Amino acid sequence: MTDHTADNALRHEALWRRIPGVVLILIAMVAWFAIGNPRFLSGDNLANLGLQASLLLMLALPMTLIILTAGLDLSVGALLGLCGVVIAALLVAGWSLIVAVGAALAVGLIIGLINGYLVSYLSLPAFVVTLGTLGISEGLALAISHGDPIGGFTPSIEAFYRSTVGGVPTPVIAAALFCGLLWLILYRTRFGNYIFAIGGNKEALHLAGVKANLVHMAVYVLCSLSVALSALLLLGRTNSAHPSVAVGMEFEAIAAVVLGGTSFEKGQGWLLGTVLGVLAITVLRNGLNVLSVEPSLQVLCVGLMLIVALLIDRGRKGEMAGAAG
């Protein structure tokens, strides 16, 4: 074998290892659902897929940054519900949309600062800290709404959610722009390099004179602020605000990140993998809806898909190790 051929083989092997197992599952699911119901690939359903994916992307993409720092944020679902309730309550009370969104961003900022400070500066476990802010967010949402849905606010939010640009749903375009922004931050700035370094060796950043704790906290703040903005998509989808409507979305956001190949250790991961993970979960949910599968079983299927994808990745890594040996 020539050196050129050997180099090509190594490149192909590296590319193969880079592709997460969720890609194989995604291809299989699309084929299966398309055969099971031709309506799955209809234009209306594909647009619906994009709308469903846009909200989850807004949660999963910043969650990727948090997991790259070897952290976790369990509060995003409850915080999403709280921000939705804050926006809806202020709109119903007669405040403008700008004020309502500003208040939601302030709530997101406070929760992000709490999470980030306790995790980065006080070195408290992210699991415990964000579990606590999950409870705080859900409790505040219930207190503000008295446990009831809030509706009757401006129809402009739903109009935005249902609007299109060149036939593409506006929320899909917004999510794509957000993805591009995070890609630039993660791969084209020092801040992005520091995020990878925190997950790999935070102490080395301290020794290099970098304010690693501040960077670490900023990641949690960025996630919470994106959740606050995502509340607009949630309100547009449901046309009402319910305190517990988004509880559980943190599971899907974390699952999408893990499905995409991001590791909880050593700062290893990539944003495109998260996009693939979001698509896989959305396709699975949507396909099961088309086939009239009960929602409770859909959650079960997401969990099964996560485990299967991890097993596929482990099996392929074992094959590579065996071939190298």
Candidates 64, 80, 54; CA nearest to 20 is 64
Cα atoms found within 13 Å of the Cα of residue 61, Cβ hemisphere only:
27
Token readout for 263 is: 């590791």
The whole-model pTM stands at 0.89
User: What CA–CA distance (Å, rounded) separates 285 from 297?
Assistant: 10
Task: Say if residues 217 and 69 touch (Cβ distance below 8 Å).
Answer: no
Per DSSP, helices labelled H in 69-96 are 76-92
Instruction: Give dist(CA 21, CA 25) in Å, integer.
Output: 7
Q: Rounded to the nearest 5°, which phi and psi values hold at 213?
A: -65, -40
**pLDDT string in tens for the chain (325-residue length):** 455 555 555 555 555 566 667 888 899 999 999 998 888 888 888 999 999 999 999 999 999 999 999 999 999 999 999 999 999 999 999 999 999 999 999 999 999 999 999 999 999 999 999 999 999 999 999 999 999 999 888 888 999 999 999 889 999 999 999 999 999 999 999 999 999 999 888 888 888 899 999 999 999 999 999 999 999 999 999 888 999 889 889 999 999 999 888 887 766 788 999 999 999 999 999 999 888 888 878 888 988 988 888 887 776 565 545 555 5
Q: Where are the alpha helices (DSSP H) in the chain?
A: 3-18, 22-36, 43-68, 76-92, 97-116, 126-145, 156-162, 170-188, 190-207, 212-238, 249-259, 271-290, 295-324
Cα(73)–Cα(126) distance, integer angstroms: 7
- Residue 71 CA to residue 73 CA, distance in Å, equals 7
Q: Residue 17: what residue type?
A: R
